[in-house]
Structures are given as structure tokens and as C-alpha cells.
Structure 1
Amino acid sequence: MFDFAIVGGGIVGLSTGMALYERYPNAKVLVIEKEKQLAEHQTGHNSGVIHSGIYYKPGSFKARFARQGSQSMTRFCQEHDIEHDICGKVIVATNQEELPLLENLYNRGLENELAIQKIGPDELKEIEPHVRGVGAIRVPMAGIVNYRQVSEKFGEIIRERGGEIQLGTKVEKIHENDDGVVIETDKDTHRARVVINCAGLHSDRVAKSTGYQTDMKIVPFRGEYFKLKPEKRYLVKNLIYPVPNPNFPFLGVHFTRMIGGEVDAGPNAVLSFKREGYKKTDFSARDFSEVMRYGGFWKLASKFMKEGLEEMYRSVSKARFVESLQQLIPEITADDLVPGPAGVRAQALKHDGGLVDDFHIILGKKSVHVCNAPSPAATASIEIGKEVVSRIPAQEHLKAAAIIS
């Protein structure tokens, strides 16, 4: 019997495994991952940015965990010799109308206790010579890293401390009882005192299989990228973001220098017809029908109809995508871009059409369910892991006292 079983081998599940061993060094921990390798979905398809927390509501988990997480992630990379770069980023107002929005964002950053600076066009040119803007915010604590490498190190640490990671194993049903949980997979059955659901794109389904109704559903949004051709990478020094639309829950297309030197441009944000749908042609009848039957989605769609249609247009029109990028770097042309990767964001959506804005954790009798952990979850993963462990039902913490000694 295991003390703790974690469903999901992405960066949040693995950071939770590390946090368990920090608190309970002698625990028996099992990580169950349905893919044949770790960090295969959201973690392995994200932009690799170490976020600062500037965008998020002051006092929220996202704001606090991103700020603390950028520091703990940087320390972890330094301690384990993982390549990273705290290169900073600029958030750029491209016209006078965006300056009030930039000012609001700057004030939010100050509320979130970030050491940021407002800069003018001349200073912006010194940092990013090819960017056009009337003003910007410099965010020096933002950086880049390969989160798949981070996740692999997390997994290595779990194994070194005695944990077991079972790959290629799909959880099918979880039963809670007074003595713990029984986890049925497509290969075998496991018993544990506590199960922790970090299943990302499938977290709502895992919670439901355990017997919990979450009043939300994961709706997948695909983010599509282009890459700059190698000879055009000089146009981007580090990280360049637009001022986000405050009425739309995504950050807009931007430029990201990756570890290794590549430069990604994007993403847009379109409904994915499959929870793990990284290509436009990917389709799952189950996933698609769930979204189409969900009233919360149609309420969201009606609220953001104009923005949603624009995102869809960018998905099918490279020319329109390029126009968006030219708002930041006028020199960019369609010939400078080649198709890049895509990621899928697991966004929790409530029945009333409201997006779940913050990280969301649900407690069961013998279970903890991380039911909303989109960006900046990778940045904040170490802090989220600590928080999840602190949420383990109190009676189980008392039983776990014996594990410490």
C-alpha cells in the first residue's frame, strides 16, 4: 500500500511528489502517468517562460505563486545545473490608446510587489531595437527555461527518494473508503491512503471518477505558434509581449526566445476539438460533444464572440497572424515565419460561463484534486506542490506523522 498516489506526470504532479518527500521523507509515493514519458502534454508544450506574476489579481494564488515560484524555480535550476536565463521581458503599448491599460498593468505589478519599470520609446529601443512602441513596462525577473527538463529532474528526485513512477498507465476509476483509496488502472489496481489528482486536461474527469462534482468543466483551447527562421531571430532579443486585452482571458500574440535560441511567435487561442488536440485536424467525438452540450461554453462564447472570431481568423489566415505580430515588430513578414508547435491550455469553465481565474483545488475525504492549473502553473509548480501537500486532509496529516520519523 502506498501512502500517496499522484495521478498525472506533468510538472504539477511531479512537484507535488517532491513536496511530499520534503515533508514526509520516508513516505511511499506512486506517480501514475498514462503517457510513456513525463511532461507530455501542457508541460511539454508550453512556451518555457518563467513568469513574474504581473498580470494576476493581487492576492490571488496565481499572483503569489508566480512571484514566489519564479524565485524557487530559478533556485532549483541553479542548484541542479538546468539551463535557464533570467532575461527579462517588455510589455509594449503600440499606440496611445493602450497607454492607460499599460498604466493599469504597471500599478497591478506594483501591488504584486514586483520591481518593474516604466520605460519610454528610446529605452525600449535599447532593449529591443526592432520593436515599435509608445511606452512599455520592463519586467526584469521574467525568464526562460525548458520545463520538460525541469520535470525530468523532478522525476529523478522522486525516484532517488524511493518513489515509484508508473508510465503508460491510465487511471480508470478511483474508490474512496474509510481506509484510503483504491485506484483501478488499465494495468493493475493500487491502494493508497490519499490520492492527489494532478491530471491537467483530464482533472475534472478524474475528480468525477472519484465521486466529486466540480461545478466546472475543462474546456481545451489550442494555442498555435509560428517560429522565426534562423536568419530572422536577430529581430527578437528576449521576450516581447503586447498589452493584453482586459476583456479577453489570453495574453495576445507575442515573441518568446526559447532556451536553445529559437524564437516562437504566438499564440492565438482557439477552441480545440480534442483535449489533447495539437493539430487543427485532431478531433475527439467525446471531447467535442461535451463542450457543445455544456451551457457554460455557449455563455462564454456569446460574451467573447468578437474576440473568438478574430482568434479563429488568425488560425486560418497566416496573413492575419502576421498583421498581429507587425503591431510589435513592423519588419516581420510572412516569409520570416515557419509553422511551429501548438499547445493546449486546460481552462476550467463554470456553468455560468465564467472562467475559473485562479488555481483551484478541491478537497475530498481521502483525495485532493487540482482542477484548474493553467499558466503560470509551470512557473509556480514548486509552490503549488507545497500548497497541495498542505491541503491533504487533516486526519491524514496525523497518520503521516509516523512517516516522518
Structure 2
Amino acid sequence: MAYGYDVLVVGGGIIGLSTAHAITQAAPGTSVAVLEKETALATHQTGRNSGVIHSGVYYRPGSFKARFAVRGADEMVKFCLDHDIAHEVTGKLIVATAREELPRLHALAQRGRENRIPVRELGPAQIAEREPHVGGLAAIHVGSTGICDFGAVARTLASLAQAAGVELRTGTGVREIARRPDGITVQTDIGEVRGRVLVNCAGLHCDRVARMAGEDLGMRIVPFRGEYYELAERSRDLVRGLVYPVPDPAFPFLGVHLTRDVHGGVHVGPNAVPALAREGYSWLRARPRDMAEVLAFPGSWRILRRHWRYEAGELRRSLSKKAFVTAVRQLLPAVSADDLVPAAAGVRAQAVLRDGTLVDDFLFGGSGPFVHVLNAPSPAATASLPIGREVARRALEALAGSRST
């Protein structure tokens, strides 16, 4: 059967659901369908993150990430309060463990102030007061960081969208997209769907959806797997809250960190290793097509040339628990291998340009009836409410344009 909608949203993660909800709030009566290839919503990046409400302290002032994370953190706490979703504003420590990290730590504190985030610089005694088992030369405390259950946030957004008339269609993977004079035709796993505007929130597959739409936007998704351990129950009192290292500014990952979740567990990780499939949650899960696409893209080789030393360290920590424990001990000297229990991994949908640039900000694209979200890694879950409004604005502009032609 053919279904006609004003807006088709491809991808039922937290960004797609937030976008669908925002469209119904901004333009009631707009007909919207969310097309999700899995049999359940929010099973990939949304369902496999550490549950941190990020403050925005790391991000360049004025960037999408900075603006959306700062606004999104406040809005996410309010959303959780309004809908009785488990959450806590915990604050976090970013800890320097070596002297060469001190200038970067001070620069982070300054960046936090520029982004209007509550930051406080701490010495070793103050670190020990907050986290007795954490070692460090200096730290900054970021007061607006928190934790929540993003799976519950996604389920709530889905319920709100559905109550406003959005049709949520799981098991509906997109196979082909064709632009017609009167709109867009999408061939899916269960038949044809038609709409006037298509919004691409496909995450790990967003570049493929863009190419199906006839728009090659000069980037590819290169998947990086984040591998986690968690502290064994007997060892959870080693960490009271959230503890992060000073990140390497040359690489868009935060390093191995310690994050307590709303259920009482403590995640340790992640590292960042190339995944052998877009949904490659272990070394055993590989897809030749996915690997061939990565290897055929010039940007992948340029990343390797630029960052091979960093990635060699990440691979070593992936293959050796001893090496992983050594990395964790820089922050948490008391931890032992017996304290760490393997936990579920996630895969980051990292957009990479042809010149090997790892896209460091949210990236949007598209023309005519197409709106593409092409890079939305962390802190996308934190910022999902303002991102959803931004994407909805673009979709409604595209819809108005389609009606005027």
C-alpha cells in the first residue's frame, strides 16, 4: 500500500523521535511518519551510550555542539523532571594526571566559562574530598553535568509524538528513494511510502540514505566502536560520580572515563577502535560491504596516516585487558583487573570528510525536499531536544517550499 505523509523521518533514534515530536509541536496537523529498520526504536547509538547529560564544556564557543549542549542539558533535566524519568545532576571532574595536561585543563576551564558553564578549578586535596580514590594534579569541577536514562527519554518522545498523530513504523528499512514531481517515493522492506519531505536521521547509515536520495555530500560515516567495562558490584564505591581525563584536542573522543549511571552501575571506558561493521559491536561482527566502503574512501587512509599512533594505543587497549587497566589506573590507581567486568559496547557514527577531517560538530545538509543529519555523535542525546527543533525547522521550511512549487 502507498501511504502519503507531509514528512517522512528515516531513523527512530532519539534525534528522529525528537524531530518528529518537534514538528507536531511547531505545526500541528502536519502528517509525519518515522521509518525505523529495527523492530524496536532507539536500539543503536541512543540505546548504547553511557547516559551522561553533557554540559558543553569541551565545545568551541558558538558551534552547534556548544549551543545545543548547553541548552540541551538544561532542557533534558526539565524533561526528565516533567516526565518522571530517572536522572541526577551530579557534576563531574576533569582530572589532569600529568604536568603536560595542565595547560589543556586550564584552557578547558576558560572554554567552559566562555560557554557560560559553571566550572571550578580544584587542587589535589579538593579532588580527594570529592573522589577519595581518584589521583590527579589538578581538576575542574563542571557543575551542570548529569546522568539520565536516554532509553526512557526516547520512549517518552515516541509516546508524545504518537499521541500527536505521528505514525511510528518499525521493521521498515529504506531500500530506495526516488524524487517525483509531486514528492518523494520510498521503497521499504514492507512496501512503498510516499511523502513531500524526507528527513534523514539514520545515524550509522545517514550517508547511505543521503546517497539514495541522490545527494553525495562529500563525507562518509566511519564507525568507531566504544568498548566498555563496568566496575564489579563490590568495587562500585571506588567512584562516587563522573570522572574524566583531559582529552586530546586532536581527536574527537574523550578518553577512558568513569561514569556512574542512574541504576547504580559504573561504566569504565570507552576506548575507540575501528568497527568492522556499521553495527559492529564486537570484533566478531564484521560486514564485508561496510569494510569495503571504509577502505575505498580516501578520508579513511588520511585518518590512518594522521592518527595511527593514537589508534595503535586504542587497539592495544581493546585486545589487552592489562593495557586497559593500566589506562584506567591513571585516574583510579586502586582499580585491578578483577574489578572490571565486560559491558555492552556502542558504535559511534563518525562523519569523515574526503581530506581525512574528523567532523567535530553537528553537520546538516540537503536541498529541496531533503534534510540530512550527517553527524550527530555525543552529545547528541543530551542536545536532542534543541537539535530536534532545528531539524524540524528545516523540514518545515522544505515542506513550505514543496507546496509553493
TM-score of the superposed pair, with normalisation by structure 1: 0.97
- Taking the aligned partners of 1:249 and 1:393, their CA distance within structure 2 comes to 32
1:204 deviates by: 0.2
1:18 counterpart = 2:14 = no
- Taking the aligned partners of 1:134 and 1:356, their CA distance within structure 2 comes to 31
Q: Which residue number corresponds to residue 363 of structure 1?
A: 366
Q: Which residue number corresponds to residue 299 of structure 2?
A: 296
**Out of 45, 48, 53, which is 1:45 matched to?**
48
Q: What does the per-residue CA deviation read over 1:155-187, in whole Å, with 9 as the maximum and x for residues that have no partner? A: 011111111101111111111233221111011
**Out of 42, 46, 65, which is 2:68 matched to?**
65
Equivalence map 1:63-102=2 (5 Å): 63-102=66-105
Secondary structure in 2 matching 1:245: coil
For 1:209, give the aligned amino acid. Answer: M
**Out of 149, 166, 178, which is 2:181 matched to?**
178
Q: Which residue number corresponds to residue 241 of structure 2?
A: 238
User: Does the 8 A contact of 1:349 with 1:355 survive in 2?
Assistant: yes
- Taking the aligned partners of 1:29 and 1:14, their CA distance within structure 2 comes to 11
For 1:339, give the aligned amino acid. Answer: P
Deviating above 4 A after TM superposition, structure 1's stretches of 4 or more consecutive aligned residues are: 398-401
**Out of 269, 277, 281, which is 1:278 matched to?**
281
For 2:14, give the aligned amino acid. Answer: I
Q: Which residue number corresponds to residue 248 of structure 1?
A: 251
1:214 counterpart = 2:230 = no
Q: 1:123 to 1:395 in 2, by over 3 A?
A: closer
1:58 deviates by: 1.1
1:348 deviates by: 0.4
Equivalence map 1:6-405=2 (5 Å): 6-392=9-395, 394=397, 396-397=399-400
- Taking the aligned partners of 1:151 and 1:312, their CA distance within structure 2 comes to 32
- Taking the aligned partners of 2:363 and 2:270, their CA distance within structure 1 comes to 24
1:392 deviates by: 2.6
1:357 deviates by: 1.2
For 1:185, give the aligned amino acid. Answer: T
Secondary structure in 1 matching 2:220: strand
Percentage of matched positions with identical amino acids: 49
Q: 1:400 to 1:13 in 2, by over 3 A?
A: farther
User: Does the 8 A contact of 1:363 with 1:393 survive in 2?
Assistant: no
- Taking the aligned partners of 2:84 and 2:341, their CA distance within structure 1 comes to 32
User: Does the 8 A contact of 1:18 with 1:157 survive in 2?
Assistant: yes
Q: 1:32 to 1:395 in 2, by over 3 A?
A: closer
User: Does the 8 A contact of 1:363 with 1:391 survive in 2?
Assistant: no
1:28 deviates by: 1.2
- Taking the aligned partners of 2:69 and 2:282, their CA distance within structure 1 comes to 29
- Taking the aligned partners of 1:397 and 1:328, their CA distance within structure 2 comes to 53
Secondary structure in 2 matching 1:392: helix
1:94 deviates by: 0.9
For 2:95, give the aligned amino acid. Answer: V
1:363 deviates by: 2.1
1:398 deviates by: 6.4
1:197 deviates by: 0.4
- Taking the aligned partners of 1:139 and 1:38, their CA distance within structure 2 comes to 32
- Taking the aligned partners of 2:99 and 2:82, their CA distance within structure 1 comes to 44
1:355 deviates by: 1.0
User: Does the 8 A contact of 2:9 with 2:35 survive in 1?
Assistant: yes
For 1:367, give the aligned amino acid. Answer: F
- Taking the aligned partners of 1:398 and 1:249, their CA distance within structure 2 comes to 36
1:364 deviates by: 2.0
User: Does the 8 A contact of 1:12 with 1:378 survive in 2?
Assistant: yes
Secondary structure in 2 matching 1:259: coil
- Taking the aligned partners of 1:179 and 1:121, their CA distance within structure 2 comes to 65
Q: 1:317 to 1:395 in 2, by over 3 A?
A: closer
For 1:284, give the aligned amino acid. Answer: R
Q: Which runs of 5+ in 2 are unaligned?
A: none
- Taking the aligned partners of 1:347 and 1:304, their CA distance within structure 2 comes to 15
Secondary structure in 2 matching 1:232: helix
- Taking the aligned partners of 1:302 and 1:61, their CA distance within structure 2 comes to 28
Secondary structure in 2 matching 1:131: coil
Q: How many residues align?
A: 401
Secondary structure in 1 matching 2:380: coil
Q: What does the per-residue CA deviation read over 1:34-85, in whole Å, with 9 as the maximum and x for residues that have no partner? A: 0011111010001110000111111100011000000111111111010101
TM-score of the superposed pair, with normalisation by structure 2: 0.97
RMSD: 1.3
Q: Which runs of 5+ in 1 are unaligned?
A: none
1:101 deviates by: 1.0
1:397 deviates by: 2.9
Q: What does the per-residue CA deviation read over 1:176-231, in whole Å, with 9 as the maximum and x for residues that have no partner? A: 23322111101111111111000000000000001001100000000001110001
